Homo-oligomer: A and B are copies of this chain.
């Protein structure tokens, strides 16, 4: 197939006819497939079956410090769970607070305490400020953006490069004292699956924001989620970089076992400098006497060290990798046809697909009407609005591989249809400018 942009209008019209015929046939298969959320499949959940019995009637229910995990106490978590999560965050256990099932809740806590009480360096609680702004590298994680939007923040989009957020744009943005934070998914990012370069991490650490209480929300959700465990990305430790600069209070680091053990019954953690942790615990004290310690114990016994975590993640990767490959294989011709562009993810849960500007909503609509659910258009952007209407987040992990092939084929068909429609309509104008070049 030649590049769509080189087709004449007559060729485009007949191509569209063919594609629509294929689409009608696809619709009759009445698919019901979902590539919308980064959800592990059953076989991945089965990898952690032993977690369910890691604590049983014969188990000691005491933490390493002797505390009975069944009873009250241990606001910041039991020692072995703090150690496990500290290893995942590459911090010391003393820097880590272990939470409940959702790291999202720990991020929400940080914002809640900042809004209601202010951070240690805040002139006043954020809720008393005229306006709070948050930097959102795009494409990014919809739930991050939605959370800060819900807190009433103005969201500032900065573009992602292949090395992380565009540092020039970030540096410019933090000159505004109303800009109080930035969302980062630094390793195997959501949705691109790339890892921030050392230069970007160092530049983020070296920022001199106008706001004294600026925070980097460093969501290391996919830290151990390589697709190829033999060729893992390395991420510079931002806490170490900050400590060297005496700026260790600048970051909140999050992770969880959601996609290690069970999304529905995991443990989470936030890592911080001592000053930040004192602040966090000072507010957390009023919210809970402590999180589920038996589940912490269960996790620490199931995954006693990083070797066991890595062995476990290798099994995840073996299940997930072929699924990514299936989608990437299906997408490949779209690149040759000049109608889509994507970055090859090295880990994480997503493929970030860019179709021709103005086509994302149409592709997602076509897919939906033929029984394939994708994340709504714009989800990867602040306010759910993708100004170019081109980004589609693909989540390949949930469907079984045979269904995934069907879903990916349908997606490609819909991309072709939307592109042909677009170029057909735009043919009289300047087709070359709305099609993609060679970068894939």
* Residues of B close to A68: CB separation below 8 A: 42, 45, 264
A276 in the interface (beta carbon within 8 A): no
Judge whether A101 and B150 touch: CB under 8 Å: no
Is A287 interfacial (CB 8 A cutoff)? yes
Chain B residues, CB < 8 A from A294 = 52, 262, 264-265
Which residue among A39, A72, A151 has the maximum number of chain B CB atoms within 10 Å of its CB?
A72
Query: A116: which B residues are within 8 A, CB to CB?
Result: 112, 115-116, 127, 151-152
SS class, residues of chain A in contact with chain B = loop
Chain B residues with CB under 8 A of A152: 116
Would you call A108 and B71 a contact (CB within 8 A)?
Answer: no
Q: How far is A378 from B152 in the complex, measured between Cα atoms in Å?
A: 39
Asked if A49 CB lies within 8 Å of chain B CBs, one says yes
**Any chain B CB within 8 A of the CB of A289?**
yes
Contact B292 A70 (CB under 8 A): no
A56 interface contact, C-beta 8 A: yes
In the bound complex, what is the Cα–Cα distance between A265 and B66 (angstroms)? 17
Interchain CB contact (< 8 A) of A264 among B48, B72, B151, B262? B72
- A51-90 CB mask vs B (1 if < 8 Å, else 0) is 0110111010100000011111110000000000000000
Q: Cβ of A104: which chain B residues have Cβ within 8 Å of it?
A: 287-289
Query: Does A100 reach chain B (CB closer than 8 Å)?
Result: yes
| B-contact 0/1 string along A147-188, CB 8 Å cutoff | 100111000000000000000000000000000000000000
Please name the 8 residue pairs, one residue from A and one from B, whose CB atoms are nearest each other, closest first: A265-B294, A108-B287, A102-B288, A70-B262, A264-B293, A127-B127, A150-B286, A72-B263
Closest to A78 in B: B264
B-chain residues with CB within 8 Å of residue A105 when the two chains form the complex: 287-288
Q: Is A283 an interface residue (CB 8 A)?
A: yes
CA distance A290 to B37 in the complex (A): 15
Minimal Cβ-Cβ distance residue in B for A100 = B100
Interface magnitude class on chain A: 35 or more
CB distance from A321 to the nearest CB of B (A): 20
The answer, yes or no, to whether A190 is at the interface (CB within 8 Å) is no
Question: Which residue from B151, B286, B293 sits with its C-beta under 8 Å from A265?
Answer: B293
User: Which residues of the other chain, B, contact A151 by a CB distance below 8 angstroms?
Assistant: 116
- Closest CB in chain B relative to A145 CB, distance in Å: 11
Given known pairs A56-B52, A108-B287, A146-B286, the reply for A292 and B72 (CB within 8 Å) is no
Contact of A291 with B by CB under 8 A: yes
Which A residues between 338 and 364 are near B, CB-CB below 8 angstroms? none
A255 at the B interface (CB under 8 A): no
Residues of A participating in the B interface, judged by any CB pair closer than 8 Å: 37, 39-40, 42, 45, 48-50, 52-53, 55-57, 59, 61, 68-74, 100-102, 104-105, 108, 112, 115-116, 125, 127-128, 143, 146-147, 150-152, 258, 262-265, 283, 286-295
A263 CB to closest chain B CB, in angstroms? 4
14 contacts between A and B (CB under 8 A): A48-B70, A53-B53, A70-B262, A71-B262, A100-B101, A100-B291, A101-B292, A105-B287, A108-B287, A115-B116, A116-B127, A147-B286, A264-B290, A265-B292
Interface hub of A49, A105, A150, A287 (most chain B Cβ within 10 A)? A287
Task: Report the separation of the CA atoms of residues A262 and B291 in the bound assembly, to the nearest whole angstrom.
Answer: 12
A264 to B294, CA, bound (A): 7
